[in-house]
A and B are shown apart, each in its own frame.
Chain A
Amino acid sequence: MTMLRVENLTKVYDDGTVALKDVSFEVPEGQFLAVIGLSGSGKSTLLRCINRLIDPTEGRILWKGEDITAANHEDLRNIRRRIGMVFQNFNLVHRSKVITNVLAGRLGYTSPALSVVNRFSRKDREQAMVSLERVGLAEKANNRSEELSGGQQQRVGIARAMVQDPEMILADEPVASLDPVLAHSIMQYLEAINHDDGVTVLCSLHFLDLVHRYGQRVIALNEGRKVFEGLPSEIDDEMFKEIYGREAERVG
């Protein structure tokens, strides 16, 4: 069953930059899709268009048959709360406690009136703790998030996405700010969520070996256009040059 269908997506920023040009693809339910491309190729814009953090200029995005691009303010809240997002820079609120950052994932389900007085239900709190345990940070729940290391912060970011009970996770370069050893540990959490919970994952990545290891399917962007779609194993040297440009060189 198709989870996500992107049709002829185009994004032109106010300053005239064309970030995405006529991109179309489909993601079946439960797939781990890797999105690759150079910096500035439009990966981040693509992921942010899917949950409308950025409004696309043209094209449609259908999520489980629902048109995200036509959704109003209220529909969008219902859609967003079922799509988790993980960021390159973790995007935690540094001054807040770890548990508060995780609980923020439940905001889409919480009445605005209650969150004014900083209240979450007991169930939400329990779920947040379970989620933190899953990423191995339960004992840090009451620390300030700025006290955590980069890898730990990203695990909190994953826990925040998980308490949303998401059907899909958008991961925007989740390991680009981390050192290579940590990268695998973070990717394994995403893999587990994909494998064990059946959550569809769209993950943009820099390193090709991570793509080979975790991606079930790949799409590649170059200057806003989709230049490749297929299995990771299909990326040969010729394809690599197509994606990364003639001057790129494979190392390692």
Chain B
Amino acid sequence: MADLKTTPAKTPPREEVKPKKLRPVRRSLWMAIGLLAGFVIYAYGFQVVNVNLDTIGDPVRQGRFANIIRALGSPDLLTYETVATNVDIDFAMPCPADGFTAAASEGGAATISIDPPCADSRGIVTVSGEGFGSNEPINIFFVPPNGIELRVAQVRTNADGVFSTEAQLPNRPDEQVQTIRAKTRERVGSIFNPVYVPTGQTNSETGEEIVLRSPRWSANAEATWRGIIQTIFLALLATTVGTIIAMPLSFLAARNLMSDVRIPVLNVGLAIVALPVGAVLGYAAASGGGGIVDRLPGSALLLGAVTMVLVWLGFRALRFAVPLPDTERPRWLRVGAGLAAAAAFLLASQSAVRFMEIGGAQAASVLGPLAFLGTFVQRLGEIMALVFGVLAGLAAAVALAIFASKLAYAIAKNVGPGMNQVLSVVAVGLAGAAIAVGIGQAIAWMYQIIDTTATVVIPAAIGAVLGVGLGVWGAMRGQLGAGLGIYYIFRTFFNTLRSIEALILALVFVVWVGLGAFAGTLALALHTIAANAKLYSEQVESISSGPLEAVRATGATRLQTVIYAVVPQIVAPFIAFTMYRWDINVRMSTIIGFVGGGGIGLILQQNINQLNYRGAAAQILAIAIVVAAMDYVSSRLRERYV
């Protein structure tokens, strides 16, 4: 095969690059200065963070620390029933004139003795015992004739089952013989050999005697279980909701997709003016449609049927409005059909929302233990009703902006270039005024200004002037880099939002929606949106551009290019990042309870505040297990998909 060969052009002789060599003395000097600087920085750091070894050596603190570590070894998970054993010995107070000798104590193998055998009020005696279990906690009581136990000492036997302690007696002189009692409590049952202990109480409803299993899950264990389940689902909801919202937004924050979006000036101006108009119209249409649906009788069956019919009608109209290629159909008919489809879908979603609210409530009342499914549908309906107006406004705003852009193309075709430039400048001026009024309104709300001159007229004037300036500049170039503008707005927004920790967001949401897991979910979801949108958009920026170019060359629209050339390239990394975020969110949600965001953190914080370290140990254990499991699962899944 014929090939051509070019002799390489003569390259200029390369300059010798001499490594910069410092003389040994100067090098040592620099090293010394570096060490000195390090010394100063660490010295200052020690002062700032209060490095203090006195407290570490303090035996009291060491004891507390040891208690916490030991508590971690025996988390409060099980409750045992106990059986008490009493060892009694007779005692006299005050001492009789002829002295007093107690009979031997009763209580099986264990015996106690008192020295001296009798004492006056508030006297101090030594109580000794033997034959007890080793390392057993023992309570010493003074029992007057009325039988009420007054505790006078607490002691633990040694390894041989022997104890001896001093006890100060109460002021209870009596002629009769009194009693000193050593009481031990023994756990009954074990994990592998549980025991059922009758309590002697009866259930007021069934009339049966209450029997308790020993051991059984402690109240703390049950609370831990509920908390960790709440935590897992909190993280799941926050991750999925955040991801769903972050995905489409991430495309707007990807530089490679946005940088070449240049739009003629007239289109930009008209589209911006169309946005608020569309938003208002959409919102109004949603409320109007809601009004119509609200007049229907509140029967789930009827609403369901209405929804299905409307959806069917909507699809028919849509098929008519967007025919397959090669079908000729007058433009006005297609536009009419499109509007009809939009109206049908609007009403359909309204009645679907009502259907979900009413049907969900009805289902919840008959489903029994599965009532939460019905309640879920009802809640979903309520959420949709809440955001419906906003969504409809958003959709209508986008639709009208697209229409305005098409209108601008039509105008550009029918008027001369000079006229087009004039119209462009006017349109961008109006757009500038609209944006400035929007900002003015935000400021007015923030600082509660009611002066309309300051919040409407002046911003409108400034915006119009800036807009006209931008319009003139753009009209000379013909196009505006609208894509880059959108890119910077979204990037800035995400970066700002991301810099606020989820814990702080949770504090805000607790104020808004109250204490509990819902506030935590909202906070984590918002943080997920910001963090994932950034990660996703970086993935989008790193895709190979060849397929993008190829799909664009076929005449695909921007949306089609994204769906066919971008999405297939990012599915795997998106799955990986979503997994990773879930992992992070599980960890975050364990502590979001500290600020009132629900989940296991709330119980953990309560236990720590009450110095109930064995209780806290159960929660720490649960968190460790769940986080480790999540870590393992997510890394396995990432391995598989990436």
Contact = CB atoms under 8 A, between A and B. Distances in A.
A251 B4 CA distance: 6
Interface residues of A, number: 59
Contacts of A106: 554
B549 interface: yes
Given A91-B547, A207-B1, A77 B555 contact: yes
Contact of B550 (A91, A111, A112): A91
A207 B2 contact: yes
Given A53-B549, A53-B553, A80-B555, A252 B409 contact: no
Interface in A169-196: 170, 180
Contacts of B318: 113
A115 B2 contact: no
A141 to B, nearest CB: 16
B-side interface size class: 35 or more
A118 B562 CA distance: 12
A83 to B, nearest CB: 8
B48 to A, nearest CB: 49
A20 interface: no
Interface string B539-562: 000000011011111111101100
Contacts of A19: none
Given A73-B409, A207-B3, A249-B6, A115 B560 contact: yes
A36 B128 CA distance: 111
A121 interface: yes
B2 A100 contact: no
Interface in A80-119: 80-85, 87, 89-96, 100, 104-116, 118
Interface string B372-414: 0000000000000000000000000000000000100100110
A208 interface: yes
Contact of B554 (A81, A96, A245): A81
Contacts of B572: 95
**Looking at chain A's contact residues, is the secondary structure mostly helix, strand, loop, or mixed?**
mixed
Contacts of B406: 74
Contacts of A90: 546
A72 B560 contact: no
Nearest to A75: B409
A72 B1 contact: no
B551 A107 contact: yes
Given A51-B553, A92-B550, A107-B564, 18 more contacts: A73-B409, A76-B555, A83-B553, A94-B547, A95-B572, A104-B550, A104-B565, A112-B559, A113-B318, A115-B563, A116-B563, A121-B325, A157-B550, A208-B4, A209-B1, A244-B6, A248-B5, A250-B4
B546 A96 contact: no
Contacts of A108: 554-556
A76 to B, nearest CB: 8
A79 B7 CA distance: 42
A160 interface: yes
A80 B553 contact: yes
